[in-house]
Amino acid sequence: MEEIYNELQKLGFSKYECKAYISLLKKSPSTGYEISKLSGVPRSMIYEVIAKLLDKGAIYKVPSDPVKYSPVPAKELITRFRSQFEQSFDYLEKNLMTLEGEREADVIWHIRSDELVIAEIVDLIGRAEKELWLSVWEPQTPMIQEAVDQRHEEGVKIFTILFGNRHLQLGSTYHHNYMPPDVVKERTGGHLTIAARDGEEVIIANFSEETPAWAVKSKDPALILVATEYIRHDIMIEEITRKFGEDKLDSLWRKDNDLLHVVTGKRFK
């Protein structure tokens, strides 16, 4: 029952209003006294609660002596609220956007929690129109796969560097095979994840098993460029390695302390 109360409260009902309305669904018509007794709403407050439910159009007054009340049927109430909310969304979508000032390109939004970060990434993917650049890890893939597949089917060009499962595909996918994911994870402090679209917007995020995910989102051209170039370079490294072999690439950096630090984040072997 608490879950029903929670959902009704999202629609603007108070806890007492929830209890009174549900008591009427169970037994009606009922007097104020009967509603109070069945719902647990204090008698001192029941008529104030009833008045608010009448204002919301959630119950009817039944002419009788004493006065009784009946609920608007649940299906009818839900339909009414759905219609009202859709009208409100339509109105706000039309009018709020006209009030929105032009955003500065260098604004950076900070996002925290795994759920919110994933939601922002999925939203960005859904707004890609021409091209999408992704650097993602296997654990996050199932949560964005559907959105990526839909953009791919609609003709958006997608380039992905993927850490983990070599069988997963997200558009044109290049698997990060040369360096073990654990080395990259240690260097970046987690699953560094990037999504950039159309040269217009980027999200740079990090997922960790120890702490909630964090991300920054921006339309700053410099951040978009750096993030996109990061993915381009990762893709090229993987292709160079596949073409010429790991041994040649290893010989380039493993005996050079500066390059060792560049590749692994560790100054010395």
Is the predicted pLDDT of residue 103 greater than 70, yes or no?
A: no
Domains of the chain: 2-75 (1.10.10.10), 108-244 (3.30.870.10)
Dist. CA 179–CA 10, nearest whole Å: 48
Confidence of residue 268 (pLDDT cuts 50, 70, 90): very low
Q: 3-class SS at 263?
A: helix
Is the predicted pLDDT of residue 102 greater than 70, yes or no?
A: no
Is the predicted pLDDT of residue 161 greater than 70, yes or no?
A: yes
Return the DSSP state at 139: G
Dist. CA 84–CA 70, nearest whole Å: 22
- Compute the mean pLDDT over every residue in the chain, rounded to the nearest whole number: 87
pLDDT, one tens digit per residue, over 194-211 is 999 999 999 999 998 888
Structure tokens that stand for 134 in this block: 């992704």
Residue 264 or residue 176, greater confidence: 176
By percentage, how much of the chain surpasses pLDDT 70? 90
- DSSP bridge partners of 60: 70
3-state helix, strand and coil shares in percent for the chain, rounded to the nearest 5: 55, 20, 25
Confidence of residue 113 (pLDDT cuts 50, 70, 90): very high
Is the predicted pLDDT of residue 51 greater than 90, yes or no?
A: yes
Poorest-pLDDT segment among 33-37, 222-226, 237-241, 260-264: 260-264
Structure tokens that stand for 82 in this block: 């759905």
Question: Which residue in 56, 55, 24 sits closest to 41, CA to CA?
Answer: 24
Whole-number pLDDT of residue 104: 56
- DSSP bridge partners of 134: 160, 195
Whole-number pLDDT of residue 258: 80
